[in-house]
Each structure stands twice: as structure tokens, then as C-alpha cells.
Structure 1
Amino acid sequence: MYVWLFQSLTVIITVAFILTQTPIARALFNLESSVKKQIYLGLFFGFISMLGTLLGVQTNDAIANIRDVGAITGGLFGGPIVGLIAGIMGGMHRAYLGGFTANSCALATILNGIFAGLLYTRKKGKYFSPLLGFTFGILAESFHMLLVLLISPPFNKALTLIKTVSGPMISANAVGVGLFLLVIKVSFMEKEIVSAITAEKVLKITEKTLPILSKGLTPETADETVKVILENTNLDAVGITDTEKILAFRGIGSYHHKPLSPILTISTKKALSSGKIILMKNEFDIGCSVKDCPLMSGIVVPLKDSEGNVFGALKLYRKERNTMTLFDVEMAKGLANILSLQVELNKLETEKKMKTLF
């Protein structure tokens, strides 16, 4: 049983790791604290909890499982609401499957999710270390065993079951909680590393573009800026537009994305009209009107003034599909913010000089 449960645990942790690497999960984990975020996180960990039951092993009219990993991790990571939702999902699913321990196991999962969430509030939102998660997992799963023993008649049958499953379930669930928290921690560490590298890269480019954009955003200054960005990154193409035409473009595809020509891509037009960042995974997302355009993935970030009005766009591209990394996205956002600020400062300086003249 030890082997079976720990094999199931490897599946759970693998699934968890893969899910935490998806853009949707990353965005979910990085949302500001809100009821909406807690509901989504509850559903996420509830799915993990249900999966823990499905990967369990039948024994003595019961199921030895790692269901509590989802509910406990959800509570420790997201708080009481997350733990409650995950616990209810995992618990109701277990109750539906039946067996003489169905109700006690369902109740234990729900309560463990709530207890973990309450512990989260005591930590005031700070992340739990894998070791603390492991320790709490042992205590929570021991409570689970006690609850089964107390409210799952007949007592002798429950006692026989507990003697068989307590060791494997307590150890597997505790290790699972610790490993899951470690996966989440690694995910956040990666984001912090990316942010640090991005800040350094953006600062380097900013130092070189500051004197250029102090002259304002023109086709000439845009071209110099694009050149600096391209030389200091491994991107395949970079462009800057105003709201109607291309101001500058360098790299692959420059033979038809020519300066002062109309904007050719649907994605850029969409970013300019909506004011939202557009991430393109393939040539269809980019939507270039020229056949055989070599641009295969990219990101378009609107440039905005201090009042939020869009006056242009920064465009970063790669020649292969679905190759824009988290670093590329963060860098694009950072560069767009800096470029917008530099252009806005030039505008204010120009207005100041005009007032002085008159």
C-alpha cells in the first residue's frame, strides 16, 4: 500500500507542477487577494483533492487515498475559503463513492481544509514552508484516522482498517502537502528571479534610450530605440507604432513592415483599440496581412500617456511559434512603461518651454 500511495503521489505532484507552469495558473497565483481568486483557487485544489481519491486503492470496503493533500494545501496556501471549497469538493466526491467510511472521510477532508485555512489566518498570509506543511499534514491525517475510528461503525471493522491504512495514508498525505508547497514555492522563486533579471535588462535598455527619447517619439527616435532593444535582447524583431502607422521596425519581416507604412497586423490594431496587452502564440494570433510573414509569436503592449490614452504600441516578436517566455512578457511590460514615461516627460518638457516662450 505504501508503494501504491506514493506512486499516486508522484502523479499528483507531477500534475501540480505542470499546472503551476501554465499561464492560467501563474496568473491565478499572482492575482491580488480577492474572493474571486479564492474561489478559483478552491476549485483548483478541489480538483487535486478529487484526483487524490481517484488514485487511491480499495481496501476493506474503504479507499486508502491522498485526498487530503488538495484540501490541506489549499487551506495553507489560500486561506479558509480555499480550504473549505477544496474540502467540500473532495469530501462530497468521497461521500458519493460510498463505503462504510464515506461520511467520516468526507467530514475529515472538509474539516482538515478548514483547519488548514484557519492556520493560514494565524500566519497572517505568510507562505508555509514545506516542513511546516509536512508537520501539519501528519497532525491533520492523524485526526482523519481518529474521526474514522469514532464515527464509522462497526468499531472493530474501523479499527482493522485504521491499522492497515494509517501508516501509508499519514506518511503519503504529509509528504504530499510538503512537496506541493515546495512546488508552489519554486514557482514563486522562478517569478522573482525572472523579475530581477527583467529589471536589470530593462534598466540597461532605459539608460541607452533615455537620451534618445528625450527628443520625443518620432520615426527617427523610434528607430534608434528599436535598434537598442534588438541589440540588447535575443528577440528576432522589434517594432514601435503610433495609432495609425509603423514608426520603426527592425529584424525579420522588416521588408514589409516598413516605417511610415500602415499597420499590417490585426493583433496590433486590437491592442491599440482595446488598450490591452496582446500575447500572440502563432502567426494566426499575429494576423499579418502579408502572406508568408516570418513573425510566428510575439507580444504587443500599448503605450499610454498619464491619462491612460493610447498613443502607440511596442511590439516584440520571435520567429518560432509559442516561444514568448515569461521573461519576454515582463520585459515588454517594463519597456513599454518606461518608453511611455519617457515620451510623457518629453511632452511635458516641451509644453513647459512653449509656455516660457509665450
Structure 2
Amino acid sequence: MPFSSSLLVTMFEWMSVIATTAFILSQTKVFQRLIKYRTNYGDKLKLILLFALLAIFSTYTGIPVHDALANSRVIGAMTAGLLGGPAVGGAAGLIAGIHRYCLGGFSAFACAISTTAEGILGGLFRLYYRERPIPWPVALAAGVCGETLQMLIILAVARPFQDAWGLIQAIAVPMITVNPAGIAIFIVIVNNAIEQHSRIGAVQAQKALHISTQTLPYLRQGLTPYSAENTAAIIHGLNEYAAVSITDQQTILAHIGAGSDHHIPRTSPLTLATKEVLKTGLIQTAATKREIGCNHPGCTLGSAVIVPLKHGQQVIGALKLYHTAERCISPLDMELASGLAHLFSTQLELAEIDRQSQLAAHAEMRALQAQINPHFLFNTLNTISSLIRTRPETARDIIIKLSTFFRHSMQKSSHTIPLSDELTQVNAYLSIEQARFGDKLAVTYNIDPRTETVLIPPFTIQPLVENAIKHGLQPKESGGAISITSRLEGADAVISIADDGVGMDPAEQELAEQPRHDAAHTGIGLYNVRERLKGIFGKNYGLTIDSTPGAGSTMHIRIPLLAKKEGDLH
């Protein structure tokens, strides 16, 4: 039975329905991930089911011909393989094939086999192109090959042969003409989506780079209220967002635009959506006011995209882009926010590297100053001179301690050394100071042997001891005592330097928490030590100070027990 032109026209009509369905599918999130060729197993399962349903739908829209069906089932099965590979195409084809077999008819088994084979054949073409878009002429050729294969399988499997031959005569030309065209159209739609996605990505990347260039001078200073305010102002000025906000881990650093009357930096609480991003480290969209989670009843912010700012794997803050209308976050917003967060995170990491380099350089400068400090050297030489006749052995011991101190000072502060080595240098320093002050300076050690191999940056303890003597004990006419202890606390080591000197009032303690550029500032050494330890070991480590005016001070150093070689931590 030869084919009729009406059959060809009818198949083209149904193929246009499938092409429309393809366009709708190309707008779904699964297809958007598929466009990037980074589908996970869950997405692949969804694609199998989608294409299997598409193929089953094509079976039901088939046209009865000679106790069989002229249909477009191959479009679903083969396109699944062209986009998802042999596994996706074969699985979608198998599901659609089993469904066709259950419908019965003399060609049911042959159609089940051919549908599965066509899905696998499409997947073989995908293997050749891998992550490249498949050109539509290739998809067209694949469709012709697939439909030709189906005709051969029907002839080989369907019985009686005379009925199979009659069916082929009726459906071969329409199906080999229409279905490959449908497959090609499907691939054109997907390729257009790929191209559109690339254009969107390029535009947003260019915009993100432009913003990043303008914000670089600010973010290289670190994540501070000043840098955050200027960065948020730049983003707000170059985009049509209702508001832009930047936070650290605890508070709002800057908020520009709508809602600034109650989203007040350093005073207002973080929204629920922001807290979730800071907790999980994952980008999040808030489509409604409720999802944003602002407690202010008059807040006009309706939707937001929130992305984490990171230093390595550590979340240090968040960038938020707001619209006043609800459900207004687009893929463009997602792309821009994600790109900006990545660039800002890189800039902040570079800022931290610069800051650590400056701290290390400052530490080396202080070490060099300690080596050539005229007062320290003059006092030590005077002590040696006064003892060289009356107590030559003591003078000789001070010279040895001075040599030990200078030799230790030559080490580079960017490395780490065992605690025992650091204590050797501290002991040399204290021995010299004890020779100067005599009974006015008492020193005790209580070192847990298990902590002696803990790695610590050089010139961590010595500046604290020097600070205790100079600012804690010297103001007392009677002098005082210093004790150095170390102990284990879980997976950490805690080193304490205590004195019974004059102590510090709250204002003096605050100086140790703030960076200052005055070299004569008494807290600069304490700040330097604290920031170096935090920079190397993380925010949970560093220096804390307990001090009571008139009763003395205790400085605690907390570091992790790390079994790493020298220099591995920087």
C-alpha cells in the first residue's frame, strides 16, 4: 500500500506540535542545566522520563495504517540520545518501546526493538560530539539513519512478511521525511538556547568585570564597612536594582537603595535568607517578602538573590541584589550575582594575602629592630661590662644568650617552628633581662612536654613577653614575675604569658584589637601577633587578653595541634 500525501501532511502537523513541546522543554531548569552539559544523575533520570513521555505521546498521536501506526516516536527517543548520550537515549527508547509493545499489533515487537535502538544510535552521535553542540544537519542525518534502521527491523522481525512489506510501503517515505526533520528542529531549538545562554553569560561576565574593575581599589582593603559601602554604591549605580546590600558573618556592612531606612549597617539584624546563605555557603533566591525574612512591617523589598562571599572554603559574608517586586529574580540576576561573588571573593582573598604579607613584613621589621635596638643592646652590653670583672661566668652566659637571641632573630617569620625552638629564643631574651633587673624579675615555666612539637610562627611569644616586661612590670618599683605555661585543650594547644604587673585598662586592651601605623604604639605587637595567628590558623585561633588594672595581665595564644612540616602553613 503506497503512502498518501494526506498521511505526510498529517505527520507534519503532529511534528509541529512536538516542535512546540520541544521549545517549552528548552525553557525548563533541567534543560538549562543540560545546555551546559553538566547534568547529574537526578537530571538524567528526569530527562529519560521527559523524553519517554514525549515518545509515548507521539505513539498516541500516531496515525493508524494497516494495523500499525505511522508516528513520530523516534523524535523523543533519538533526541534523548543526541542530548543525553546512549544511556539516556536507550532508557527513554526502552520505556517508549515497552509501552508500544503493550499496545499490540503485528509490528509491536519490531517497533519496541527499533525505538530502543534509535535511542542508543542517537547517543552514539552524542559521544562523538561530547560537550559540543550537535549541528542540525548531523541530527537530520542521524534521524534518517534511525528511521531507515526502524524500517529494516520491521522487515526483519514483523510477521507476516507480506503485511510488514505493505506497512513499509505506506509509512517509509512519510516517516523518513518528517521525523528526521522534527529531530533537526528539536536540535535547532536547543542550539539556539545554548547560543542565547552564551550571550547572556558573556553580557553578564562583561558587566561583572566592569563592576569588579571599579570595586577593586576598595575590596583590596578587605571586607570592611568602608569597602562594602563603596562596592554596594557602584553596583547600585550601574544596575537597575532597587537595593544592594553586603554583609559579613554577623552584621550588615552596607545597604544602598530601598529599605535603607531600616536595613541599617551595624545595627539591623540579618534577614533569614541571608543567615541561611551564610550557614550553607550556597546561592539562594528569595522570591517573596516572606522568603526574604525581613521583620520590618513596612519593608518594600520583594525578591532577592543572595550569594556567599568566600575566602577559600570559608564563608565571610554575602552579596544581596534586591527588587521591590516579588518573583522578579531572573536568570540574568543569577548570572550577575554569581559572577560578582566569584570576582569579589577572589579580590578579598588577594586582600587577605596582601594583609598577611604586610603583617609578616612588619614582624620581620620588628625582629630586625629588636636585633639592633640601641637601648636593648646598650643595656645588655652595660650589664656584661659591669659583670665581666666580678662575675665573669655570668657575663659569659649573657653573651651566649645574646648570641642565641640574635641567631633566632634571623629566622624568616613566614615559616613555622616547633614551640620548643620559640621558647629557646624567649628563654635567651628573659635571661638577659633577668641579668639586668636581678631580683626584680622572676620567671617561671610550666610547659606540657606534649606541646613542645606544636608549630608556631617565630616571634609570637617574645613580643608578648617584651610587652609584659616593658608595660606591665617596669612601671612597678618592686618589679614582678612572669610565668609562661602551655597545655592541651582538646585538639588545641594554649600558651599563656602572665604577669603580675600594673595591668591594662579597657582602653589599653582595645588598642591591641585595632591596627595602628604608629611604630611606637604599645599595642602594635599584640595586634600583629593576633592577626598573624588568625591569618595562618583561622578565625577560631589567635590571641586573647585578660587584664585587670593593678593586678596584672594574662595573654593566651590558641593554636591547633597540626602535624605539618615547617613552612607548610603559609
TM-score above 0.5, yes or no: yes
Deviation string, structure 1 residues 277-308 (Cα, Å, up to 9, x no partner) = 102222232222223422222210011102x1
Q: Match of 2:343?
A: 338
Contact 2:250 2:270 in 1 (8 A): no
Higher relative CO (CA 8 A, sep ≥ 6), structure 1 or 2?
A: 1
Is residue 4 of structure 1 aligned with residue 10 of structure 2? yes
| Percent identical residues | 36
**How has the CA–CA distance of structure 1 residues 124 and 203 changed in structure 2, closer, same or farther, with 3 Å as cutoff?**
closer
- Cα displacement (A) at 1:268: 0.9
**How has the CA–CA distance of structure 1 residues 342 and 297 changed in structure 2, closer, same or farther, with 3 Å as cutoff?**
same
Is residue 211 of structure 1 aligned with residue 210 of structure 2? no
SS of 1:63's partner is strand
Contact 1:272 1:312 in 2 (8 A): yes
Is residue 130 of structure 1 aligned with residue 136 of structure 2? yes
| Count of residues in Structure 1 that have an aligned counterpart in Structure 2 | 357
Is residue 298 of structure 1 aligned with residue 304 of structure 2? yes
Q: Partners of 1:15 and 1:263 in 2: how far apart?
A: 46
- Cα displacement (A) at 1:127: 3.0
* Structure 2 counterpart of 1:54, from 60, 63, 68: 60
Residue 346 of structure 1 aligns with an amino acid whose one-letter code is A
- Cα displacement (A) at 1:38: 4.2
* Structure 2 counterpart of 1:172, from 164, 178, 184: 178
Q: Greater helix share, 1 or 2?
A: 1
Is residue 230 of structure 1 aligned with residue 236 of structure 2? yes
- Cα displacement (A) at 1:34: 5.9
Q: Partners of 1:11 and 1:290 in 2: how far apart?
A: 49
Contact 2:55 2:72 in 1 (8 A): yes
Q: Partners of 1:202 and 1:133 in 2: how far apart?
A: 36
Bigger CA drift: 154-163 or 165-174?
154-163
Q: Match of 2:199?
A: 193
SS of 2:321's partner is strand
**How has the CA–CA distance of structure 1 residues 28 and 129 changed in structure 2, closer, same or farther, with 3 Å as cutoff?**
closer
Residue 57 of structure 2 aligns with an amino acid whose one-letter code is L
Q: Match of 1:92?
A: 98
* Structure 2 counterpart of 1:276, from 278, 282, 287: 282
* Structure 1 counterpart of 2:332, from 299, 302, 327: 327
**How has the CA–CA distance of structure 1 residues 24 and 147 changed in structure 2, closer, same or farther, with 3 Å as cutoff?**
closer
- Cα displacement (A) at 1:123: 4.2
Bigger CA drift: 62-71 or 6-15?
6-15
Q: Partners of 2:132 and 2:199 in 1: how far apart?
A: 19
Deviation string, structure 1 residues 158-185 (Cα, Å, up to 9, x no partner) = 2332222222222221111101111111
- Cα displacement (A) at 1:2: 2.4
Deviation string, structure 1 residues 114-139 (Cα, Å, up to 9, x no partner) = 12222333445543211111122112
* Structure 2 counterpart of 1:242, from 248, 252, 255: 248
Contact 1:237 1:250 in 2 (8 A): yes
Residue 90 of structure 2 aligns with an amino acid whose one-letter code is L
**How has the CA–CA distance of structure 1 residues 148 and 121 changed in structure 2, closer, same or farther, with 3 Å as cutoff?**
same
Q: Match of 1:318?
A: 323
Residue 316 of structure 1 aligns with an amino acid whose one-letter code is L
| TM-score, length of structure 1 as denominator length | 0.93
Larger Rg: 2
Contact 2:30 2:43 in 1 (8 A): no
Bigger CA drift: 234-243 or 115-124?
115-124
- Cα displacement (A) at 1:275: 0.8
| TM-score, length of structure 2 as denominator length | 0.60
Q: Match of 2:25?
A: 19
Residue 270 of structure 1 aligns with an amino acid whose one-letter code is E
* Structure 2 counterpart of 1:81, from 75, 87, 92: 87
